[in-house]
Amino acid sequence: MTEYSEYKNNLLNHAKLLSEHGYFSAMMGTGGNVSVRIKGENVFAITPSGMPYKGLTSDDICILDFEKNQIEGAHAPSIESGMHIAIYKRRPDVNAIVHTHQNKASIFSVINRPIPALFDEVCMNIGEIVDVVPYAFSGSQELAENVAGKLDNNCHCYILQNHGVLCLGHTIEKACLSAELLERAATVYADALATGLKISTLPEETVTLFRQIRKEAQDKNEREK
């Protein structure tokens, strides 16, 4: 047991849950990554690199500081650690990050198309748009910078061009909920686009209301840190 054990166990449970439900695309694969910010420190827990989720234990979870110095963990951390650091530094409201390769949302990573506001619950929780982050090689500083450049919209989901999806949350539960809500929206949007008919999006006044509600919640979360 260490001071970070609770964080590591919580991360592990949610990472395995996501894996079991296909959010990393391959049950035996090692794609995607999950992290949680340690409260009161410039430190975070993150899944290791190249290890299947099914066999992970809490001892395999890595603890890093914001300079990428490894504090705990016998294995190398995810190669996307720099991207997670960039998000934590830019978005103090975010305490958990889920990078998935979920199927329906990934469609939009290869057609390079954002997902607009379609449903009340999705807009309120995720934001008015799921924007596309320009492509850069996995684990590169360029990718981290491309992601950081999109974060000022204060939304909670982003599509990584030709790669996958980023889902953020004030807690890991919220980040996982974002992934679920995104998959629902992506499924409906992909099917709706296939009809060739006009897509109905939420009215602007509704989008504005949910934007304000989300901003007030983010401000409250930051004050409580």
pLDDT of 36 strictly over 80: yes
Range of 121's domain? 5-223
Residue 78: give its domain's CATH number. Answer: 3.40.225.10
Give the total number of structural domains in the chain: 1
Question: Which pLDDT score, from 0 to 100, does residue 220 have?
Answer: 79
Query: How sure is the predictor about 211, in pLDDT bands with cuts at 50, 70 and 90?
Result: very high
Distance CA 12, CA 14 (A): 6
The catalytic residue among 6, 20, 72, 80 is 80
Query: How sure is the predictor about 225, in pLDDT bands with cuts at 50, 70 and 90?
Result: low
Per residue, what are the HEC states of 15-41?
HHHHHHCCCCCCCCCCCCEEEEECCCC
**Average pLDDT over the chain, rounded to whole?**
95
Q: How far is CA 90 from CA 86, 143, 185, in A?
A: 6, 14, 26
Question: Which pLDDT score, from 0 to 100, does residue 27 have?
Answer: 72
Question: Which pLDDT score, from 0 to 100, does residue 205 have?
Answer: 96
For this structure, is 216 an active site residue? Answer: no
Question: Which pLDDT score, from 0 to 100, does residue 75 have?
Answer: 96
